[in-house]
Amino acid sequence: MLKKKAKKTVKRVAKKPAAKKAPKKTAARKKPARKLDLLDQKRADLAGPGVGTYEEVEKILPTDYRPLLPPLQRMDALFAVKEYIEKNLCRELNLHMVQVPLIVERESGVNDYLDRDGSRTPVEFPCGLGISPRINAQIVQAATKWKRLALAQFGCKVGEGICTDMRAVRKDYFLDHDHSSYVDQWDWEKVITAEDRNLDYLKDTVRKIWKVIVGAAHLVQEKFPALRTDKYPPIPEELMFIHAEEILERYPDLPRKQRETRLLQEVAPAVFIIGIGYPLKDGLPHEMRAADYDDWITDTSHWTGKETHGLNGDILVWNPVTRRRHELTSMGIRVTKETLVKQLKMAGQEHFLKLPYHQAIMNDRVPLSIGGGIGQSRTYMYLLRTASLGEVSVTVWPKVLKEMCAKRNIIFLE
């Protein structure tokens, strides 16, 4: 009896301290967990375009869509826009249309990796019969780096540049109604001086590009009156310039895409977001940006009057058809050899400095430049008031996406 009672007493004593400590441990874990939830949401939103699941896509597809132009007429309108933009972009920025590669050698370092986390990799294949070893070829994801080398090849002078009708493949995309693995861009690049490496020069270039896009909207609506409709507001004549830090100040508790959406809904329907790639005050960049083309590390505080970095940015618009944020172009003043080293170090990619492209920058074999890529199909989609990229370009799409879009009168070109 005594032994049994002693055992029970021991058990009760052992339990009491544990019962007292448990609530403290639980309470201590709760606060950081909430912070991590927000931080994880922001991190997840840094890279990788697209919605993420087709259940989510189905929720956001427009329910009242009717195409304004039939397919063949839409193609006529598309090529009218293409001709206008190529001609006027070259005139406004003093560019020449040139040929551009679809395939580059892996070892050149010329291919665009789009971000710096390694999540989006190019399509690779060996080519060249009768040679050993065969060429390690990659399909370009963009011509961003090639263009800067091409400026030297074509002998462009200061204030002169090139424009390309670029095609690419980006296999690591979630495919939805406004993200495709097939990419078409007006990839352009222009020689500048060291004195041009400032925010005023960047903004002036952006205004010229926007002027061309607005001009294309006026032209195509004049040629195809069906595009003039009260259902959608007109294309904005002016762009708003705003730094990524200022957007974070407005919406500190929102992930990047939600910040952009609120900005376009509440502040301005067309914006140029400056400073993409450098960590903001919350410790994260607005979006992941590759470390070896755009300059996102240069301190711009003396121009903005607040703590800011970056000589690059994106044009985003509110798309009234999809009722979503809609990116048209990424662009920026390019890295110098000093900022290239700093950015690669921040990205943990200093080994890239051994590659031919990076060596060309380090040894002053390429000029200082500004450049960008304007999405062709994304611009057609915006100006021709379509609800999907599949209505203005022909590529591969998942069956599940085509079927759910067809139920909403969004018919893809096959």
Mind telling me the catalytic residues? 112, 170, 185, 314, 327, 330
Structure-token match 């000589």, residue found: 311
Taking the CA atoms of 271, 274, 278 and 284 in sequence, report the sign of the dihedral they define. Answer: negative
What are residue 48's phi and psi, to 5 degrees?
85, 95
Tokens of 32: 């950081």
CA dist., res. 235 & res. 317, Å (int): 9
Angle at 96 between CA 95 and CA 98, to 5 degrees: 135
Angle at 199 between CA 46 and CA 338, to 5 degrees: 75
CB within 8 A of 90, min separation 6: which ones? 96, 97, 163
Q: How many residues does the chain have?
A: 414
Answer for the pair 139, 182: CB distance below 8 angstroms, yes or no.
Answer: no
CA dist., res. 187 & res. 175, Å (int): 22
CA dist., res. 186 & res. 98, Å (int): 11
The alpha-helical segments, DSSP class H, found in 94-198 are: 144-153
Please list, residue by residue across 377-399, b when 16 or more beta carbons sit within 10 angstroms of its beta carbon and e when fewer do.
bbbbbbbbbbbbbbbbbebebee
Question: Could you give the C-alpha distances from 304 to 132, 160, 310, in angstroms and in order?
Answer: 55, 28, 11
